[in-house]
Amino acid sequence: MGPLVWKVVGAGSAILAGIVANKIVTEVWRHSGRDVEIDPNNPDVPVREAVVFAGIMGLAVGLARVFATRGAASAYRKAVGDLPPDVKPKLPES
């Protein structure tokens, strides 16, 4: 496996995780009694609601991408024996 494989696997897992996180947040938002079709950029949406939605969405997507990319890097290391090309190794503590 080379750098191209890692780019596809790493990016693909991050994109898929973002899509799944978006769906989950939308469902949780809907089940909480909120408007499903919220657009935080719409000035008719109350500021507080827009900020809460954007914050939850950003946190969920960010966390999902981190965990998906870490999982993909771990699988890459198991398959190849080394970290992916653009992942920096942990520096030893001094």
Give CA separation, 88 vs 53, 64, 83, 85, in Å.
33, 20, 8, 8
Which positions ≥6 away from 64 have C-beta within 8 Å?
17, 18, 20, 21
Stated pTM of the model: 0.76
Task: Note the pLDDT tens digit of each residue in 3-57.
Answer: 788 888 889 999 999 999 989 988 888 888 776 677 888 899 889 988 988 899 9
Residue type, 1: M
What is the distance in angstroms between the CA of the first residue and the CA of the last residue of the chain?
Answer: 33
